Amino acid sequence: MSAQPENQASAAENVSETKSLEFDAHGSPGEVSFKFVGNAAADAATSAIPSPLKVIGASIKSFGSSLSSLFKNPKKLIPAIVLAVLWLAIGIIQAAGWNPVPVKIISFLTFAQAGMNGGFFGAVGGIIGKSVFAGAVASLVNSLTNKNKRKKRSFGETAKGALGVSLDTLFAWIFGIGTAILLFAVISGGVITRFSFMGGVAAAYLAGKSALNGGFLSRLSGSCARLFKGKVGTGGDGSGFVRGMSVGFALGAFFGLLNINLVLIIVGASLAGVGLILTILQKIGVIKMGKEAAKQ
C-alpha cells in the first residue's frame, strides 16, 4: 500500500524538475521569444513552437498587415521612393555612357549595380537583393525615427546578440555563415563584386536585427530545428544559425571587395555543407557539445 504514494511522489518530483522551452507570442506584433519554464512536460513545450509552415503563414499575414499600414501612412514609403528614383537616375546616366565619380559613389552606396551583370537569373537575384536593401534602409529609418524605442543595449550586448557564438550553437553558426555567403551571391545578381558590398551590409543588418528581436529568420530556423526527433536541442530557438548569417553576410561583403567571387562561393558552400551535417548530428544526439557534453 505504501508503494503507490512513493511512486506518485517520485513522479511529481520528476515533473517538478522538468524544464522546457515555452513559446511566447505576446508583445509587439511580429515578435517572438523563447524562455525556460519549470513544472511543464518537455513535449508540451515543444508542441507550443509553431511548425515552419505556420511560421511562414503567420509572416505572410503580418506582411499583408504591414503593407496595409504603409498605405495608411505614406511617409513610410519615402525611403523606398527615394531609392527607386536614385536607381532609375543612375541607370539612365550610365546607359548614356556618362559615369563620373559622384555617380559611381552613389551607385556603390545604394547597391544600384545588383543584377546588372548576371543575365536573366542574375536580374532576378538582383531584384531580390534590391528589395533586401530597401527593406534594410526602411527598417533603419524606422528604428531611428520610432518614438517607442526598445530598451537600449550596450555595444557588447548588441554584438553578442547579433553575432555571438557558443559551443552549444557553434555548428548552427557555421551553417549560417556558409548559407549567408551563398545567399549573398544570389542577391548580388549571381556575381559578387565590390559593388555588392552595401547589399551584404544590409543583409547582415537585417539578420542581426532578427537575431536580436526574434524576427522571422529566428522563428523559422527555430521551428525547423524542432523537426529533429520532435525536440528543441540546445540553441533550438534558431539564434545560432541567424547569428551565423549575420557574420556570413558581413564576411561576404568585405571579401567581395577583393573580387574573389568563385573562391568565396566555394568557401560558402563548404561551410554550409559541413555546418549542416554537424548541426544535424548534434540535433539527433550523435555529437554532444557545450552544456549537453557537460552533462555526460
What grid cell was written down for 105?
A: 559613389
Q: What angle, rounded to 10 degrees, do the helices at 170-187 and 197-213 form?
A: 140
| pLDDT, tens digit only, all 296 positions of the chain | 444 444 444 444 443 333 333 334 334 333 333 333 333 433 444 344 566 677 677 766 665 666 566 666 777 788 888 999 999 999 899 888 888 999 999 999 999 888 777 677 888 888 899 999 998 998 898 888 876 656 677 888 888 888 888 888 899 999 999 999 999 999 998 888 888 999 999 999 999 998 888 878 888 887 777 776 544 444 455 788 999 999 999 999 999 998 888 899 999 999 999 999 998 888 887 887 767 666 66
SS3 assignment, position 19 = strand
The pLDDT value given to residue 208:
92
CA–CA distance, 195 with 193 (Å, rounded to integer) = 5
**CB proximity list for 87: less than 8 A, separation 6 or greater:** 110, 112, 130
Per the CB < 8 A criterion, the answer to whether 168 and 244 are in contact is no
Quote the pTM value. 0.73
**How much is the pLDDT for 199?**
94
